[in-house]
Amino acid sequence: MVKEMISRKLLLEQLSELRHDILAMATRVEENLGKSLAALKTSDAELAKQVSLDDAAVDALQKKIEDDAAIIIATQQPVARDLRELVAIFRIISNIERAGDHAVHLAKAAKKLAKRGISPFKSLEHLERMAGREMLRAAVEAFLAQDANAARKVAEQDNKIDEEHKITTEDPEIVSQALNITANTNVSYAFLQFNYTHIFDNFLNHHKQLFSGAYQKSINSNLHLHGELDNRPIMGVDSKEQILNEKLRTQKLTTVFVKPLFLNAIQARDKRVIIPAIKARDVIQTSKVICVFGASVGYTDKTWWKDIGTSVLRKHAVLVVFDYCGDADDGVSPLSFLSRNDDVNARKKEIFDRITELAEWTHLDKELCKNKVIIELDSGMFNFKLPRKA
């Protein structure tokens, strides 16, 4: 009995120390968010640098808490409420660390903008509210106090942050300011489309009218790689091996149905014809950052993944893949999906393995360039509306 009481006392002391470390970690992250916002507002490169350095302490605290929690589970064998709290702690510190990473991203943006000498952000009203510093503090306090009502109130604040995000990304003045900042840094954009419709063209043209000339001039290409519905769309496969019926692999049919061969035939017939797909290859080879929206491009467009893969391997390009997550029919909402690290990591690995297979990367290629492939999952990537007709 005495032994059990001593063991219980030790467990409570260890849990108390974990809670203290969580508070310390959250406090440091909250401070870093404040510093990064201040650095962004004032273009203070030194303050931004301090945030990046402080993040190492956040990571160290996360590791300490994870190690201590694991030791408690292994040595104390907690059950019921104590075990649930320890499991919750792993989830909590993961999200606190993620908030710390956001502070670092803001700081990096501040350092880049500081090179211009002035800050384009005189008012950070929306960003400050979106940063959720008060929400972070209230969430940790609710956990430490074991206050369910306070936790529910914190969760309700998420809708307000979503509204701030909507304002920030949809307000023409704010978006125009952000895009023109980028345009003034000698960045040019090229859009390569695999679809045959004009949906994106209409969307792009509508929004270009809202922005100043600097942003408009930064768009140098908008190409339909395989034509358009009303202008000789090119459909088919990527190689003759993809034509399963060997009897159909005649020279005449493969020239028509194998897209790369058909494009070459068109170019050979008339050198004056500008082939969007051929121009697109030059765009890929000269790009420093290649962003792919949606990872649905498959085997019938394997050529493009090989071109992109070659550019990443040999041209020092970085590949960023944005993909949707949490399908409606899998019983998991997108936001729930994003909160589950195992699901997110599994989905990212699935996408990475698929595109590197299409690009024909070797195992060594994957190891050498894994940090040059960034995969981001978004719950509302395609959740936009086209302008209504007048």
71: pLDDT strictly greater than 70: yes
- Position 114 scores a pLDDT of 67
pLDDT tens-digit map of 177-215 = 555 555 555 667 788 887 777 777 877 777 666 555 555
Structural domains in the chain, CATH included, are: 2-168 (1.20.58.220), 176-378 (no CATH)
- Position 178 scores a pLDDT of 54
- Position 126 scores a pLDDT of 61
Burial class (CB within 10 angstroms; exposed 0-12, middle 13-18, buried 19+) of 270: exposed
Q: Give the residue with greater pLDDT, 365 vs 194.
A: 365
Q: Shortest CA distance to 51 belongs to which of 125, 108, 120, 10?
A: 108
pTM (predicted TM-score) = 0.48
Confidence band of 384 (pLDDT split at 50, 70, 90):
very low
102: pLDDT strictly greater than 60: yes
- In whole angstroms, give the CA distance from residue 381 to residue 372: 22
- In whole angstroms, give the CA distance from residue 194 to residue 304: 10
Mean pLDDT (whole number) for 44-66: 87
What is the CB neighbour count within 10 angstroms for residue 221? 14
| Torsional sign, CA 231, 232, 234, 235 | positive
Spatial neighbors of 165 by CB under 8 A, at least 6 apart, are 130
pLDDT tens-digit map of 291-346 = 887 666 677 778 888 888 888 887 678 888 877 665 543 444 444 544 555 677 88
- Position 119 scores a pLDDT of 55
What is the CB neighbour count within 10 angstroms for residue 341? 13
- In whole angstroms, give the CA distance from residue 69 to residue 118: 46
**Cα–Cα distance list, 190 to 181, 199, 201, 311 (Å):** 17, 17, 13, 15
- Position 329 scores a pLDDT of 38
44: pLDDT strictly greater than 60: yes
- Position 332 scores a pLDDT of 44
Mean pLDDT of the chain, nearest integer: 76
In which element (H, E) is residue 192 found? strand 189-193
The residue count for the chain: 390
Spatial neighbors of 69 by CB under 8 A, at least 6 apart, are 18, 86, 89, 90
